[in-house]
Every structure is written in structure tokens, then in C-alpha cells.
Amino acid sequence: MVNENLSSLNSTERDFVAKARKVGETVLAPHAQDTDQSNSPRLENFRALSEIGLFGMGIPKQFGGHDVSPQTQREVTEILASYCGVTTFTQAQHHGPSRMIANCPNS
């Protein structure tokens, strides 16, 4: 785990970390081997991540995101990766383009 000092996170960010750990333990881990051997990522994993707001974690609040700190994003990514690499790799591909779109100068 990144193990940065989590006390520097605000309550929303600490909540994201806790929710990511819970989804990892209850949704990702039990199916990680099947997900790894499957031809495609497991849809239920992404539903669970969506339900906790993970896909908006790095998006500015003005666009409906949560705008959490880079420290929180690193912590959440490492937690998820410890439970299911396939899911983490796939969801991580979402964050960069989403931030680019949200921060572009076009309206």
C-alpha cells in the first residue's frame, strides 16, 4: 500500500479510500482469478466502482466529479490493484482522458 499519511486526506477522500477497500474485498477479490482468465473485464466490478463514485474521483466538481487529491487517487489505485489487476488497469484508462476532456478549453 502507498501508506502515505492518510490523516492529511479530507473526510471525502478518506471515505473514497474506505469504499475502495470494501469493494476490493467484497467484489473484486472473490472474482479476481476468473476476471484475469476471462476474455473481457467483469461488468459487475465496474458497476461496483461506479456506485462508489470512483469514475468521477479526479473530475472537477463543476462537472459532477469529486476532485479528490492525487494522493487519494494513488491510494485508491493501489488498493484496487492489490485485489484485481485487470479491473484496475481497465478503469485507470478512464481517468486520464476524462481529466483531459474536463480540463480542455472548449465548452
Tens of pLDDT, residues 40-94: 889 999 999 999 999 888 888 888 888 999 999 999 999 999 999 999 998 888 8
Torsion of CA 77, 80, 84, 85, to 10 degrees: 10
Query: Which cell numbers in the block locate residue 83?
Result: 485485489
Cα gap 49→43, rounded to integer Å: 10
Please give the model's pTM, rounded to 2 decimal places: 0.84
DSSP state of 53: T
Residue 98 in this model has a pLDDT that exceeds 70: yes
Cell of 59: 473530475
> What pLDDT is attached to residue 92?
86
- Find the distance separating the first CA and the last CA of the chain, reported in whole Å: 38
- Give me the pLDDT at residue 82, please: 96
CA–CA gap between residue 32 and residue 49 (Å, rounded): 15
